[in-house]
Structure 1
């Protein structure tokens, strides 16, 4: 799993041309805005540079001190460290707005991992999030759909098999008359499986609509 600071750094469009002074400001933004730290310090900023495999500026402390001066101040100083001056923070927020959304989304996705026991599903979810973080969105969408269906398959087999088979008997399929294994479920068309889950009250109508919408515009119909 990539550390959050690396994901932040890699999301900076012009990072290769950014000078040390600006990178210092960017990492102050990361620490105090993205991570919610009260302040940034020379020590915490040094860690940001190091984790990102960047040389630590020899004038790091000087950049912080100099940012307190002049008409275009970058920082304010507190007893515990440095924070971004309000107008400068607003400027950076405009710059990193879309990047921040990606980072927040990534963090929320990573938080889902704790809901999975160690095993193939958890590793598969980690790979899905890796794809999202690498901007491989097509792969991420296809993979998360596969994972969602597999999770629903397991739920049906482990907890709702009787209800599902009752719904199947009332709405017969040409290929499958009764479900016993996951392979049986995979023989059903995805749209039919979703329809039967709703008929068996395994999912709500709202969830059915979400799945139908995803199926209609999702991986199967990708050009």
Structure 2
């Protein structure tokens, strides 16, 4: 997942030159867009400053109160969220970041390394969606690409181990003998079996589960908005920790 430090890096010294309220709004946007937090507290904002190695404002709570008065932030008890106007302002301020360019390059560099024709289709569609700012679709296609890779690796090298663990975890599911057999499984079940059989280590399974949850949010009808930062995070996470991971 993109860190707070990486998120503000494209702004360079421009971030530290901004006022405390502006900095807080940027980190609020980071918590919404990258960390998938619907709300945040003063502690969350403070943790962002610490993670980015930037000095905290003297009083984050007072800064948030000022933003609430300006209607840039909405308050519910001890929780806060950015207003629609503030979110739109963040989208305009961070439309094309260095991370967007590097994510596109990451996908382009992957093209000659993907031999499976089905995965080639997923990769091409991920790249096309991302370039066209169809971030919800890019998240879904990036997941399809990574999950297809996992299934291929199971079939190629771990099918006996997988089926043995499946008999313990989900005995009613059919054995895996060909790619289409995975259609009888939920993706979460495949991840759980792989972890139990130690086909994938706990860290890889953690990354897969986090991105599956985001894929589910993106794929199902909802009022959730998906932006560049979320698609970048999903793509870079799945490419680096799954597709290019020699342990997978």
TM category, shorter? 0.5 to 0.7
Q: How big is the shift at 1:98?
A: 3.7
Aligned twin of 1:127: 125
Aligned partners of 1:125 and 1:144 also within 8 Å: yes
CA distance in 2, matches of 1:118, 1:212: 24
CA distance in 2, matches of 1:186, 1:177: 10
Q: How big is the shift at 1:118?
A: 6.7
Aligned twin of 1:192: 189
CA distance in 2, matches of 1:172, 1:214: 23
CA distance in 2, matches of 1:201, 1:191: 15
* 1:25-64 pair list within 5 angstroms: none
Q: Secondary structure of the equivalent of 2:97?
A: helix
Q: Secondary structure of the equivalent of 2:199?
A: coil
Deviation string 1:133-189 (CA, Å, 9 cap, x unpaired) is 111001111111112111111111111100101111121243x24221222222111
Correspondence for 1:110 among 108, 121, 145: 108
Deviation string 1:87-124 (CA, Å, 9 cap, x unpaired) is xxxxxxxx889433311221122111121127332233
Compared CA separation, residues 172 and 207, structure 1 to 2 (3 A): same
CA distance in 1, matches of 2:139, 2:155: 24
Q: How big is the shift at 1:206?
A: 0.4
Aligned twin of 1:202: 199
Correspondence for 1:172 among 147, 170, 176: 170
Aligned partners of 2:191 and 2:205 also within 8 Å: yes
Q: How big is the shift at 1:129?
A: 0.7
Aligned twin of 2:158: 160
How many pairs does the alignment contain?
128
1:219 and 2:216 are equivalent in the alignment:
yes
Q: How big is the shift at 1:220?
A: 5.2
Compared CA separation, residues 142 and 96, structure 1 to 2 (3 A): closer
Give structure 2 stretches of 5+ with no counterpart. 1-92, 223-248
CA distance in 2, matches of 1:218, 1:127: 15
Higher relative contact order (CA 8 A, sep 6+): 2
Aligned partners of 2:174 and 2:181 also within 8 Å: no
Deviation string 1:15-56 (CA, Å, 9 cap, x unpaired) is xxxxxxxxxxxxxxxxxxxxxxxxxxxxxxxxxxxxxxxxxx
Aligned twin of 1:21: none
TM-score of the superposition, structure 1-length normalised? 0.52
Aligned partners of 2:123 and 2:145 also within 8 Å: yes
